[in-house]
Amino acid sequence: PSRTFHGNNRLLTSQIISYYESINQYKKELPEYFNFASDVLDEWARLEKDGRKPANPAFWWVNDKGEEVKWSFEELGSLSRKAANVLSEACGLQRGDRVMAVLPRVPEWWLLNVACMRAG
């Protein structure tokens, strides 16, 4: 039974921990190596290209002036592969390295994040 805390109907910490532990008991098989960029984004790009998934933007950015940038899954994949190659080859980035990107929240910031995922 749920008890209220200071008049709110929120779960108590002990209930949250109990719920978290019950979720962790579910043992899902995870691949040894998983890369969101190549395992998910590239797969969605392939499904769109084959016509098995409707074409939707993978990335849709709008600034405060109403300017938009839209990238398909194929475009995001291509751009992130190029950026990952620059990071890996020209900058010497290796799997497990830490990266700090100091950019405003512009499309290139998001692209750099996907490229870093792709590079490992």
CB–CB of 115/93 below 8 Å? Answer: no
Grouped pLDDT means (10 residues each) for the chain, 120 residues: 50 59 66 86 91 88 94 94 94 90 91 93
CATH of 35-119 among 3.40.50.980, 3.50.50.60, 3.40.50.970, 3.40.50.1380: 3.40.50.980
Distance CA(49)–CA(30), nearest Å, equals: 27
- Sketch the domain layout of the chain as residue ranges: 35-119
Distance CA(67)–CA(59), nearest Å, equals: 14
The pLDDT score that the predictor gives to residue 10 is 55
The pLDDT score that the predictor gives to residue 51 is 87
